[in-house]
Structures are given as structure tokens and as C-alpha cells.
């Protein structure tokens, strides 16, 4: 099956562009990418898998197809976000409450995906 087949399979289940969707057990993202085509730029998709190697492949392909940012994406959290991040973290009772810690954790997370072995 190719990308066109994946889009064709999903088309009947997607009533309109946009919305918030999840692809649980997304693997290397074949159906996430098909869904992205059907939802358009107003859609939001959470692509979830326990296999970091599969997620790496999905990220590489998604960033390649969208061609907007390099993979892995550069991380730069503006210092002026510190106050609002702190308030959000407190409100949500996050264990990470400072922007530098959040940036460090994000970098660690991305590095774990970037360096994951093949699925
Ligand atoms: C058969 S593959 C399907 C991949 C993709 N949806 C497709 O159709 O190409 C199933 C995927 O579900 C993932 N998976 C299974 N159990 C899971 C769990 N409890 N949490 C997250 N991912 C899970 C596996 O790692 C695997 O990538």
C-alpha cells in the first residue's frame, strides 16, 4: 500500500478538514500522514507509539514531507516565556517548573527519538 491507498482508506471516516485527532499505535506514521492530508493545515494530530524507532521514522518522514523545518527541529524557548510557563506548570502541577528545565527535558526527549534504533 502506498500513501494514496492510505488516504483512500481513511477518507470515508473523516467528515471535514480540521479538528483534533489521535493516531494511537501510529508506527512509522503512514496513517498519520494520510490523515494530515485529509485534515489540512487546520488539523492537529497526536501520533502516539511506544516504539521510539517507529516514532523516529515517523518524525523523519513527516518533517521531510512538510519541508518546513529540519529534523530534529531546533529548540529555542524565548526567555520571556519563563513567567507564563511557570504559571502554567503550577496550574497543571507539572514536575518541571522552570523554562531551562523544560528546555533540557525537551532536548533529552528529542535526542531519545533522534537516536532510537530502527523499528
Ligand atoms: C501493527 S503496527 C501499526 C502501525 C500503523 N498504525 C500502521 O498501520 O502502519 C502497531 C503499532 O502499535 C504500537 N503499539 C502497540 N501497543 C502499544 C501501546 N500500548 N502503546 C503505544 N503503542 C503501542 C506498536 O509499537 C506498533 O508500532
* Residue 41 belongs to domain with CATH number: 3.40.50.150
DSSP run (H or E) holding 21: strand 19-24
Atom of ligand 1 nearest to the CA of 30: 9
- The predicted pLDDT at position 10 comes to 98
- Whether 95 lines ligand 1, by a CB cut-off of 6 Å, is no
Q: Do residue 20 and residue 62 come from a single domain?
A: yes
- The predicted pLDDT at position 40 comes to 95
**pLDDT, tens digit, for every residue of 68-113?**
899 999 998 999 999 999 999 999 999 999 999 999 999 999 999 9
Which residues, 6 or more positions from 68, have their beta carbon under 8 angstroms from its beta carbon?
Answer: none
Q: Do residue 2 and residue 59 come from a single domain?
A: yes
Q: Do residue 13 and residue 65 come from a single domain?
A: yes
Integer Cα distance of 73 and 11 in angstroms: 30
Q: Do residue 45 and residue 79 come from a single domain?
A: no
Q: How far apart are the first and last CA of the chain?
A: 19
Q: Do residue 66 and residue 78 come from a single domain?
A: no
Q: Do residue 103 and residue 82 come from a single domain?
A: yes
- Find the domain containing 55 and state its range: 1-71
Q: Do residue 30 and residue 56 come from a single domain?
A: yes
- Whether 54 lines ligand 1, by a CB cut-off of 6 Å, is yes
Integer Cα distance of 95 and 75 in angstroms: 20
- Whether 58 lines ligand 1, by a CB cut-off of 6 Å, is no
Q: Do residue 98 and residue 53 come from a single domain?
A: no
Integer Cα distance of 14 and 3 in angstroms: 16
DSSP 50: S
Integer Cα distance of 24 and 67 in angstroms: 24
Q: Give the number of domains in the chain.
A: 2
- The predicted pLDDT at position 95 comes to 95
Global confidence as pTM: 0.85
User: Is pLDDT above 70 for 119?
Assistant: no
Amino acid at each position: 500500500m502506498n500513501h494514496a491507498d492510505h488516504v483512500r482508506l481513511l477518507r470515508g471516516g473523516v467528515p471535514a478538514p480540521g479538528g483534533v485527532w489521535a493516531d494511537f499505535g501510529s508506527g512509522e506514521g503512514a496513517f498519520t500522514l494520510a490523515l494530515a492530508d485529509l485534515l489540512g493545515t487546520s488539523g492537529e494530530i497526536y501520533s502516539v507509539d511506544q516504539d521510539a524507532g517507529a516514532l523516529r521514522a515517523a518524525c523523519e518522514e513527516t518533517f521531510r514531507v512538510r519541508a518546513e523545518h529540519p529534523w530534529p527541529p531546533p529548540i529555542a524557548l524565548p526567555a520571556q516565556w519563563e513567567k507564563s510557563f511557570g504559571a502554567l506548570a503550577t496550574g497543571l502541577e507539572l514536575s518541571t517548573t522552570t523554562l531551562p528545565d523544560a528546555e533540557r527535558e525537551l532536548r533529552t526527549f528529542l535526542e531519545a527519538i533522534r537516536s532510537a534504533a530502527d523499528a
